[in-house]
Structure 1
Amino acid sequence: MKVGILTYHDINNFGAQLQAASVQRFLASSGVDAELIDFRPWRHEVRRNMTLLRALARMDFRRFGRELSRNQSFRSSIAEMAALSKRQAFLSRSVSEISKDYQVLVCGSDELWNFGNYLGYMAPYILDFPVRPGVVKISYAASMGSYGPSGDMSGKMKSALSGFSRILVRDPTTETFVRDLGLDATRVVDPTFLTDLGAIVPDIGDFMMISGGMKHAQVEQALAAALQLKLRPISVGVAYPGHEDIHVKATPREWIGYVKAATCHVTSLFHGAALSLKYETPFSVFLTPGKEQKILSLLDWMSEGGRVVTADADAATIALVASTPLSPQLGAIRDQRVAASQDAFMAALTGA
């Protein structure tokens, strides 16, 4: 049995690459011949390369170098973390031909079914293309995020999903949507919980990790919280304006190493929260507009709802929440959900 996986993988985003690699690596560690189908939508390639073109147009060669290096670093990272198909596709219609190499197709995870973004309806991400008879279609931890499809789009999605043998989703909103279509769905954990990608852990003593996009006021309050806790602040992956001195560059495996090693973590990211739960690093997460549903549902599912702080939280609140130890019950709750998700995924593959 050979499995082809379609998801966001070649993207300059820690969470996206980590979830993609985790799906492939979990299956490989379970003895399954699996690889990421190297589908890179042309719209995404154009958008990513526009930063290079804008830098050249402004003759900003320093920025051009930074962006080029960033693109190359992320491309190298996914190739190092996960097995990729030898064939590449940039157009949706090309994926159908590549899919002939596989007996099972998996889409997920991440917000693959959020068709309200700049990519629009992407048929490969919901496996909406012809396949050979007998090819099995399943999803793992797919999500539609905060997207609310129209009636016509709902019908289109139902038509595609009706061809799936199992639909495993990441959040209750997507689960409810699928069930309202008259189809069955099972909630599972984000794939970053499923396997170990080999975190590269820094040896730098006690520190507060700060991650994700934040407004200037949020950064200032996070830094003030670090001062209150007498911790060195380190921003990993994001150079906040005016605070470039605390920024460190990182690969995805280094990024999770910082999460694992941090004394505490202040983040605005879904995967910042997810990996803090995985490694049991105390944390606070800003309730970021547009990400509320997926962050809250994750925390509630793991019985850690108290980790949320409002977007305008002050330093004292951030420090209190981020430094509070995680619940003693977290390990048991998380491990039970992970085991159930692993079983559901393998059962979907084998038809059990």
Structure 2
Amino acid sequence: MKVGTLTYHDTRNYGAVLQAYALQRTIENLGVDCEIIDYKSEYLNQVYKIKSFNDIKSIKEFIKWILTITHDKKSKLKFDKFNETKQKFSIDSYTKENISEVNNIYDCFFVGSDQVWNLNLNDIDTTYFLDFVSDNDKKFSYAASFGYKSVPNNYLDITTKNLNLFKKIAVREEQGKHIIENMLGKTAQVVLDPTLLLEKESWSKIEENINTLNKDYILVYSVAATPSLFEFAKKLSKEKNCEIIYINRSYINKLGMKNIRSASPEEFLGYISGAKYIVTSSFHGVAFALNYKKEFFYELDTKPQNNNSRLESIIDIVGLKDREIINGTNNKVDENIDYNKVDSILKEERSKSINYLNDIIKSIKKVGNK
């Protein structure tokens, strides 16, 4: 039996490549062959490509390009190497024109876990609805996300039509479950992000040890680099006598901390592993803090249009709302997280999520043996 997964894998984003890796490995751990389908989205390739000099259209863009191009090229090489050495891809690459050829290769398909159903992100690419799969009984999702609170009216028909054809749907947050129930009248299971399906021991095998500071450090990893997040990190640094390491892609250095701009996915895990504290506004910042049992603090995005739902969802599951940074402060800096309790919760959620995958694989095997 052979399984194909489809996701946003070809990016320089730690969460994206590591969740793709984790889902593929988890399915293989269930005893079947699994590959990430190397689908090349024309639109996303343009979004994530590194600009050349000829792409520059203004003085401001030129200055930013000069300050980031070396880091961007180095980062791309590292992500490409991770994909070549750690990921398991389909032998061939595919475009929208020829992806239907994979029907002859895979026995079932999983799409997830990123915002694969956010049509604003992928230029209305219905490939991520598995529209190329000829047999609807082979269409499944795992931890898929919409990335919006409700499906915009202009996407409602195309979304409803395509998702009605899925055999089973699993989403990564309660918000997605409510959308499926209200839009389709179907049930959807909420499952863990793939990065939480693999435990620390698995991640430690691929992390790269970082020869860094000789003292404890706070790792800052943000989606929205707000002044309040750094205000909190700096106060924590003084109080706990820790240095600050900031993983980012900004073209401006943050003063008073070590700026890391081109870490590989393996190095990213190494920085997580070595941190005393993690301060983050990223879902995957929280996910890996949980995997590595780190003391962490998180901040939600206060903008009206935000992607807080999955972060709020995992925080609710593990019961750690008191680790939220509000207005640059948190009063739990001297209290440790009860990881016995957290691990017990995650173990149960992990079991339910893996059972969802396993039940599907068993059902496909059963059909294939008839």
Q: TM-score, normalised by structure 1?
A: 0.89
Counterparts of 1:48 and 1:244, CA distance in 2: 30
| 1:223 partner SS | helix
Cα distance between partner residues in 1 of 2:210 and 2:88:
26
**Residues 217/300 of structure 1: CA separation in 2 closer, same or farther (3 Å cut):** closer
* TM-score, length of structure 2 as denominator length: 0.85
Instruction: Show the counterpart of 1:175.
Output: 177
In 2, Cα distance between the equivalents of 1:221 and 1:148?
33
CA separation of 1:69 and 1:258: change in aligned 2, threshold 3 A: closer
Alignment of 1:17-96 (within 5 A): 17-49=17-49, 51-53=51-53, 58=62, 63-89=68-94, 91-96=95-100
Say if 2:118 and 2:146, in contact at 8 Å, map to a contact too: yes
SS at match of 1:128: coil
1:236 alignment partner in structure 2: 247
- The code of the aligned residue for 2:186 comes to L
1:251 paired with 2:264, answer: yes
- Counterpart of 2:367 in structure 1 is none
Question: Is 2:236 the counterpart of 1:225?
Answer: yes
Determine if the alignment matches structure 1 residue 313 to structure 2 residue 325: no
Amino acid paired to 1:303: G
Give how far 1:325 is off. 1.3
The 8 Å contact of residues 92 and 123 in structure 1, kept in 2 or not, is answered as no
User: Partners of 2:154 and 2:186 in 1: how far apart?
Assistant: 17
- 2:300 alignment counterpart: 287
Deviates more, 1:157-166 or 1:171-180: 157-166
Deviations 1:146-192 (A, max 9, x none): 25223452332222222222211100010111112112211110000
- Could you tell me which amino acid in structure 2 is paired with residue 255 of structure 1? F
Whether the aligned pair in 2 keeps the contact of 1:282 and 1:325 (CA below 8 Å) is yes
Pair 201,333 (structure 1): closer, same or farther in 2 beyond 3 Å: farther
Contact kept, 8 Å, 2:289 with 2:295, in 1: the verdict is yes
- Contact conserved, 2:109 with 2:138, CA < 8 A, in 1? yes
Which range moves more in the overlay, 11-20 or 298-307? 298-307
1:145 corresponding residue in structure 2: 147
172, 178, 189: which one pairs with 1:186? 189
Is structure 2 residue 129 aligned with structure 1 residue 126? yes
Which amino acid is 2:328 matched to?
A: A
Q: Which residue identity is paired with 2:105?
A: D
8 Å contact 1:283–1:321 — kept in the other structure?
Answer: no
Would you say 1:332 and 2:340 are equivalent positions? no
Instruction: Identify the residue that residue 216 of structure 2 maps to in structure 1.
Output: 206
Decide which moves more: 324-333 or 214-223: 214-223
What is the letter of the counterpart of residue 74 of structure 2? S
1:264 aligns to 2:273 (yes or no): no
Q: CA deviation at 1:286?
A: 1.0
For residue 92 of structure 1, give the secondary structure of its aligned residue in structure 2: coil
Asked whether the 8 Å contact 2:272–2:292 carries over to 1, the reply is yes
Q: Structure 1, unaligned stretches of length 5 or more?
A: none
Change (3 A) 1:217 1:194: closer
2:166 aligned to which of 164, 167, 180: 164
Aligned residues: 344
Equivalent residues of 1:116, 1:147 under 8 A apart: no
Are the equivalent residues in 2 in contact too, given 1:109–1:191 (CA < 8 A)?
A: yes
In the other structure, the counterpart of 1:345 is 357
**CA–CA distance in structure 1, aligned partners of residues 187 and 318 of structure 2:** 23
Displacement of 1:244 after TM fit? 8.0
CA RMSD of aligned residues (A): 2.4
SS of the equivalent of 2:38 reads strand
Percent sequence identity is 24
Distance 1:244 1:79 in 2: 36
Give yes or no for contact 1:26–1:194 (8 Å, CA) kept in 2: yes
Q: Distance in 1 between matches of 2:50 and 2:211?
A: 37
Report the counterpart of residue 300 of structure 1 in structure 2.
Answer: 316
Q: Deviations over 1:287-329 (max 9, x none)?
A: 124122221111001111212223x314xx3xx4455311341
Report the secondary structure of 1:106's partner residue. Answer: strand
My pick for the range that moved more, 145-154 or 225-234, is 145-154
SS of equivalent residue, structure 2 residue 98: helix
Q: Please identify, of 297-306 and 45-54, the stretch whose mean Cα deviation from structure 2 is larger.
A: 45-54
1:84 Cα offset (Å): 0.8
**Quick one: distance in 1 between partners of 2:294 and 2:86?**
23
Aligned-partner Cα distance in 2 for 1:161–1:85:
25
Deviation at 1:31, TM superposition (A): 1.9
Tell me the amino acid that sits aligned with residue 157 of structure 2.
G
CA–CA distance in 2 between the matches of 1:203 and 1:189? 32
Q: Which is worse superposed, 253-262 or 102-111? A: 253-262
8 Å CA contact 2:137–2:166 kept in 1: the answer is: no
> Distance between the aligned counterparts of 1:323 and 1:264, measured in 2?
12
